[in-house]
Amino acid sequence: MQRSRIAVTGASGLIGKALVHSLRADGHEVVRLVRRPPSAGDEVEWDPQRQHVDVAGLVGCEAVVHLAGAGVGDHRWTDAYRKEIRDSRVLGTAAIAEAVASLDVPPRVLVSGSAVGYYGDTGDRPVDESAPPGDGFLPQVCVEWEEAAAAAQEAGVRTAFARTGLVVARQGGAWGRMFPLFKAGLGGRLGSGRQYWSFIALHDEVAALRHILDTESLSGPVNLTAPEPVTNREATAAMGRVLRRPTPFAVPQPVLRAALGDLASDVLSSQRALPARLLESGFSFAFPRIDEAIRAAVR
């Protein structure tokens, strides 16, 4: 993509911050959507709960990347927090899509966040973007999340859904919380350890988002996961190898359920998602294997 004006929601999060840095390093003008009165020239106000966007701030944008949403692992899943998880995604996406559709000259592309949670628990069965949604809370949220972008699609904006896996990074996310434990020698498998984790290095996550922005043939769901998912047991062993720490501990399922409540179901579920559409479109992973992804995060 030539130097462009690009709007990003969730710009203060793990992925958003890295994406903004990457885009600006290549000379793009980035507009950050913030949920407060703007305090800098590159900020535009929006309120996902009220489904309000300062549309004037999107004028001239070639692309919008929508990454905002309440963290799935940030709190126990009370009824109130389940509502926050859903509303932050569904209402926020609807607001962005409707704002994009209302512009006299809409952006060429909207890349909207989603997750491999769409597929539910797939056991050891590989799934790509052609697979149907699974059952349960997170798959239903993902379905509604993606459907909420309908206004942009109906306005003719190329719309892609970035179904992201577990991002391997030290700075945040689920993996960021694991690094201190493993460095202290307290890391270990979760439950049986046989559940598949579809991971992606932060570097590859950002590169894949930019690849979607640049690739006109990509719309609809796109799995942002490395091509070789690993089991939790294999991820645990890789963390031990790279950090040179023992991984003797195992957290039994009953303990996880007592500590995490309904969130334990997400930690223990298995998703073996494959990035079929990324690979078909010519994307090349810099860190396709788990050891490489962990080393990249350490560096």
Count how many domains the chain has: 1
Question: What's residue 262's pLDDT?
Answer: 59
- The answer to whether residue 17 sits within a structural domain is yes
Rounded CA-CA distance 234/298 in Å is 18
pTM to 2 decimal places: 0.94
Rounded CA-CA distance 82/87 in Å is 9
- The answer to whether residue 243 sits within a structural domain is no
- The answer to whether residue 183 sits within a structural domain is no
Rounded CA-CA distance 105/172 in Å is 36
Is the per-residue pLDDT at 155 higher than 80? yes
CATH number at residue 206: 3.40.50.720
Question: What's residue 125's pLDDT?
Answer: 97
Q: What is the mean pLDDT of residues 188-202?
A: 92
Beta bridge partners of 197: 230
Question: What's residue 263's pLDDT?
Answer: 57
- The answer to whether residue 220 sits within a structural domain is yes
Chain segment 25-65, per-residue pLDDT in tens: 999 999 999 999 999 999 999 999 999 999 999 999 999 99
- The answer to whether residue 293 sits within a structural domain is no
Q: Tokens 């030539």 correspond to what residue?
A: 2
- The answer to whether residue 181 sits within a structural domain is no
Q: Supply 2's token pair.
A: 């030539």
Q: What is the mean pLDDT of residues 194-219?
A: 97
Q: What's the domain range around 85?
A: 5-168+199-225+272-286
- The answer to whether residue 244 sits within a structural domain is no
Question: What's residue 78's pLDDT?
Answer: 86
